[in-house]
Chain A
Amino acid sequence: MKKLPLLTLGLLSSSLLLSGCSFDPIKIEPWVQPYERQNMADPIMSANRDPVASSYLHHVYQAREGAKGAEGGGGGGCGCN
């Protein structure tokens, strides 16, 4: 029984694959066309414009806070005594 949610997810994924990422009877198409994405391509819209700088700030917080995760990045030591 525990495998049921994963099985459902697998079937849903397969149906998406077979239908070319569309749902019947209401067909959903990508609603932002490639030629409408010039603003998305602007560097100021990047969530991680400078990885060297953002990974450092994550490290600053991780060493001093109890919470961690869901912010991207790898891992490593502490340096936090």
Chain B
Amino acid sequence: MAVAVTNKITKTMLRKFILLALISLNLSSQAAVLPEDRADIMYHRYEGGGVTIDGPSLLIRKDFASTVSVSANYYVDSVSSASIDVETSGASRYSEERTEYSLTADYLYDKAILSAGYTNSEENDYQADTYYFGVSQDFFGDLTTITLGYSRGDDTVMQNGNDLFKDQLDRQNYRFGISQIATANLIVNVNYEVVTEEGYLNNPYRSYRYIDPTNPNNTISETEIYPATRTSDAVSLGARYFLPYRAALSGNYRYFSDDWDIKAQTFTLGYTHPIGNDWILDFTYRFYQQDNAFFYSDLHDFQSVDSKDFRARDKELSEFSNQTFGIGVSYQFQLGNSEIFDKSSINLQYDFIQFDYDNFRDIRNSSTPGDEPLYSFDANVLRLFFSIWY
């Protein structure tokens, strides 16, 4: 029943989306511009909560005859994890690798940009294929840009150590965005996105705990039970302002809600400050807060009775907040022959993130169930990349 309802909603939304895309293409406009030709090579590193993930990312973009721009991305996550979830499940530190390939094409057609893309992500227990289509158009004297996007993902979920387990997840994203030049120094934008997911939404390695009916001082763990569908809406409002002394101030607010009763808010503030012609400094602050899913509890009272009696103790579904403090330095210089390379830059960006959980407890040090300390951790995120324009 739930599957049929979701399919109906999906089909209705797809019809509306195609109609909106056609209407958008009909609007008279000024010429759009393809993205710049550039190549980036990046080393990224995330360290926090017993997890270290690092690896390279290589992104290359090139246009052909000024009508088609093609980009390719190669990305690797090398994971070494002894997170609280791994430790409390009784497993030991594990290592794995995720490799991702993306290919996108942007086509300048009748003053609009049509985009299509494909991404493949592979790890030993998860495979994801994502197809993307989008259209973007400038109009009203180039002051307004409308963007529409649709992506569909087919994922296969597996479990290491359990060859019999294999399940599917279907993802669909619908995006709509408007950006508007409001004054010579201010640009504002609104984005809206609906995500529908259907299939195996659990993490097969996670479990929930409930009070042992025979001994209240003891708990029993079982594999989590999630709903098979999830639909969410997110809307964001952003603005970027050019300050009189050549610097930029930006702000963004996002509100998210889904049918699992998760409501989340994100505030982001940014300040970009160039020094001379070669240096750019970036400062960011981000605050995120979410409520828990209706079937989340750190300590459930009873065992689930059937597949509709949902249970989760996944900290990503708990009530929590995080804060990010970020700083970035970019240095632009001329590399080699200026007839081949327009410019190049080297960039270092560092973010410090503090996670504070409001109803997820750290049960590594055994205590009376429900009285353990609340969990929190800090993460350090590093991005070092070299870019070249040609």
Q: Is B77 an interface residue (CB 8 A)?
A: yes
B66-108 interface with A by 8 A CB criterion: 73, 77, 79, 81, 83, 85-86, 98, 100, 102
A27-74 interface with B by 8 A CB criterion: 29-32, 34, 36-37, 39-40, 42-45, 47, 50-53, 56-57, 60-61, 64-72, 74
A57 to B232, CA, bound (A): 21
B27-76 interface with A by 8 A CB criterion: 27-28, 40, 42, 44, 46, 53, 57, 59, 73
Please determine whether A30 and B238 come into contact, CB atoms closer than 8 angstroms: no
Please determine whether A75 and B85 come into contact, CB atoms closer than 8 angstroms: no
Mark interface residues in B337-373 (1 if CB within 8 Å of A CB, else 0). Answer: 0000000000101010001000000000000000000
Nearest Cβ distance between residue A65 and chain B, in whole angstroms?
Answer: 6
Please determine whether A77 and B195 come into contact, CB atoms closer than 8 angstroms: no
Residues of A in contact (CB 8 Å), total: 48
Contact A9 to B183, CB < 8 A, known contacts A67-B256, A69-B195, A75-B128: no
Q: Which of A6, A64, A80, A81 has the most CB of B within 10 A?
A: A81
Query: Which residues of B sit under 8 angstroms from A81, Cβ to Cβ?
Result: 79, 81, 83, 85-86, 203, 205
With CB as the reference atom, state the residue of chain B lying closest to A35: B184
Query: Which residues of B sit under 8 angstroms from A42, Cβ to Cβ?
Result: 242, 246, 248
Query: Which residues of A sit under 8 angstroms from B387, Cβ to Cβ?
Result: 50, 52
A44 to B349, CA, bound (A): 15
A7 to B330, CA, bound (A): 49
A64 to B314, CA, bound (A): 10
Query: Which residues of A sit under 8 angstroms from B73, Cβ to Cβ?
Result: 52
A62 to B59, CA, bound (A): 20
Please determine whether B242 and A40 come into contact, CB atoms closer than 8 angstroms: yes
Please determine whether A60 and B46 come into contact, CB atoms closer than 8 angstroms: yes
With CB as the reference atom, state the residue of chain A lying closest to B101: A76
A46 to B73, CA, bound (A): 21
Please determine whether B121 and A50 come into contact, CB atoms closer than 8 angstroms: no
Contact A56 to B383, CB < 8 A, known contacts A30-B142, A66-B317, A67-B264: yes
Query: Which residues of B sit under 8 angstroms from A45, Cβ to Cβ?
Result: 187, 240, 242, 248
With CB as the reference atom, state the residue of chain B lying closest to A20: B28
With CB as the reference atom, state the residue of chain B lying closest to A56: B44
Q: Is B209 an interface residue (CB 8 A)?
A: no
Mark interface residues in A13-31 (1 if CB within 8 Å of B CB, else 0). Answer: 1101100110000000111
Query: Which residues of B sit under 8 angstroms from A16, Cβ to Cβ?
Result: 27-28
Query: Which residues of A sit under 8 angstroms from B171, Cβ to Cβ?
Result: 75
Please determine whether A66 and B290 come into contact, CB atoms closer than 8 angstroms: yes
A65 to B27, CA, bound (A): 37
A31 to B183, CA, bound (A): 8
Q: Which of B235, B247, B316, B351 has the most CB of A within 10 A?
A: B316
Please determine whether B143 and A47 come into contact, CB atoms closer than 8 angstroms: no
Nearest Cβ distance between residue B294 and chain A, in whole angstroms?
Answer: 12
A77 to B44, CA, bound (A): 17
Nearest Cβ distance between residue B243 and chain A, in whole angstroms?
Answer: 9
With CB as the reference atom, state the residue of chain A lying closest to B78: A79
Query: Which residues of B sit under 8 angstroms from A51, Cβ to Cβ?
Result: 40, 59
Query: Which residues of B sit under 8 angstroms from A61, Cβ to Cβ?
Result: 288
B251-309 interface with A by 8 A CB criterion: 254, 256, 258, 260, 262, 264, 266, 272, 274, 280, 288, 290, 293
Q: Name the one of B139, B142, B290 contacting A67, with C-beta atoms under 8 angstroms.
A: B290
Q: Name the one of B81, B250, B293, B351 contacting A66, with C-beta atoms under 8 angstroms.
A: B293
Contact A53 to B288, CB < 8 A, known contacts A67-B262, A74-B132, A77-B127: no
A-B contact pairs, 5 of them (CB 8 A): A53-B40, A66-B262, A68-B256, A69-B194, A75-B153
A-B pairs with the 7 shortest C-beta distances? A30-B141, A77-B121, A69-B234, A69-B193, A67-B264, A67-B256, A70-B234
Contacts A20-B28, A51-B40 aside, 12 further interface pairs with beta carbons under 8 A come to A6-B19, A13-B27, A21-B28, A39-B242, A44-B246, A65-B322, A66-B316, A70-B175, A77-B126, A79-B77, A80-B203, A80-B316
